[in-house]
Amino acid sequence: MADKDSVYAPENKRRAPIFSFFKDARLVFKYDSLGCEILSIALPSALALIADPVASLVDTAFIGQIGPVELAAVGVAIALFNQISRIAIFPLVSVTTSFVAEEDTLSGDTPQEVEKNEWLEAAPIMDAEIKELIPLNIDLTAIDCNIAKFEHKRRQIPSASSALLIGGILGIIQTVFLISAAKPLLNFMGVTSDSLMLHHAHKYLTLRSLGAPAVLLSLAMQGIFRGFKDTRTPLYATLAGDLTNVALDPLFIFVFRLGVSGAAIAHVISQYLMSLILLWCLMEKVDLIPPSIKHLQFHRFLKNGFLLFVRVIAVTFCVTLAASLAARKGPTSMAAFQVCLQIWLAVSLLADGLAVAAQAILAGAFANKDYEKAEATAYRVLQLGLVLGFALAFILGIGLLLGAKLFTRDVHVLHLIRIGIPFVAATQPLNALAFVFDGINFGASDFAYSAISLVVVAISSIICLLFLSSVGGFIGIWVALTIYMALRAIVGILRVGTGSGPWKMIRS
């Protein structure tokens, strides 16, 4: 039973659930057991999540030195590649994290683990009486070796094997699809056959597509490690890959004079390096070959993955449509939008680190039916997310005004970037709440609500995008994106705040 100081201790259950968001708000920065667990998962995860967009920003900065047309072209290609990758991998990563966390939590209750824990607890007693209990002719060294082998035995986690197999297949499909349909997709994004951007965008997208299998495999493996609550290993692998990308960029772009092709080649090499590192580390922990195909549990992935597939289609279409509308207004508008969007997404991913922590901890708590811990975790990460959002808004508002020239020297592009800065900064609290609510709902395996609610949000946001971009141009696009993120935060508040679905425990 938890002591009286436990962060999981229930309080007055009669309060309206929506006001419970402020429950124990004084503990938001307390480094207790819950705070320590959240931080140990969220911080490495946030750093790993932000590392790849930062590498894309470095690409953007290098390419921006070539010219505004190349910058705009690569911006369209990156947006297209990232959104299609997101469609393929986001459902897989999300369900993998939840399933692996559940399986890893429940595996601690197996008879073998119980027997092992009992033996370890009895070890001091055995040590004191070992000469009386064990005959002298038994080789104690062999016993120790067998114990060591048992403790280091790789685990059977069916969801991990399933995730890798599905990720590899999706990666190959994505490569074939992007290479064969590159020009039609770019046309959809507003880069028509008479556009100056087409040649550079097509070249970058085609080369970048060769890295799709590595991208999807590495992200699938990151989902597995998150389920183990290990976010340090993905961080180290991501840093190794992105540092390689940053080192190769100037070499391929300027020294070998490959231009946008050099940037794409550098990125592909870095992605394969990252995948190899993660695979090597994962093979040390998990037996990736299942006993039989039945253990792969494809039906679980297909059922919940389909729901998240619908959800990510809705989310992706909104962001892709916004980029397409910006591209249709010309290279200047697209170049400015690309810089603002990359910063907007990259910084927002810091909050996604909290979402990863929420999902991993909540999945384990729900598997153990520890609803008090689930409730405490949800409120703590929401409060941390809101604080983080306001801090990011302040930092970006000042930093972007001073650092916009790092991305381009074109005065017209700089003018539009300065127009977009207030929106990039002001939406950070909304972004933080939206991402954290995603992690909370995924941790509770509330995939159906997440899918349906985001479809409704997407339909409303698409209408806003089409109308506001036509009457407000560049500003209208950012106003519509602000509305989009506000609606995403609201549907999260409605689910948890009203105590519906898996959150009925709040009313109990």
Q: What is the token pair recorded at 165? A: 């197999």
The whole-angstrom separation of Cα 233 and Cα 82 is 23
User: Any idea which of 69-73, 128-132, 315-319 has the lowest mean pLDDT?
Assistant: 128-132
User: Any idea which of 15-19, 36-40, 407-411 has the lowest mean pLDDT?
Assistant: 15-19
In a domain, 121, yes or no: no
| Residue 324: pLDDT over 50 | yes
Mean of the pLDDT values across residues 295-313?
A: 80
Number of domains present in the structure of the chain: 1
Round the average pLDDT of the chain to a whole number and report it.
81
| Residue 257: pLDDT over 60 | yes
The whole-angstrom separation of Cα 79 and Cα 481 is 15
* Size of the chain, expressed as the number of residues it contains: 508
Mean of the pLDDT values across residues 395-418?
A: 77
pLDDT computed for residue 144 by the predictor: 47
In a domain, 374, yes or no: yes
359: left (phi over 0), alpha (psi -120 to 50) or beta: alpha
CB-count exposure of residue 473 (10 Å: 0-12, 13-18, 19+): middle
Mean of the pLDDT values across residues 151-175?
A: 84
In a domain, 48, yes or no: yes
| Residue 462: pLDDT over 50 | yes
Report pTM: 0.74
CA 346 to chain centre: 11
In a domain, 15, yes or no: no
Digit-coded pLDDT (tens) for 334-391: 888 888 887 887 777 778 889 999 999 999 888 888 888 888 898 889 999 999 999 9
In a domain, 359, yes or no: yes
What residues make up the domain containing 336?
A: 24-110+152-503
Mean of the pLDDT values across residues 67-71?
A: 85
In a domain, 314, yes or no: yes
pLDDT computed for residue 129 by the predictor: 43
The whole-angstrom separation of Cα 464 and Cα 322 is 10
Asked whether 454 and 488 are in contact (CB, 8 A), the reply is yes
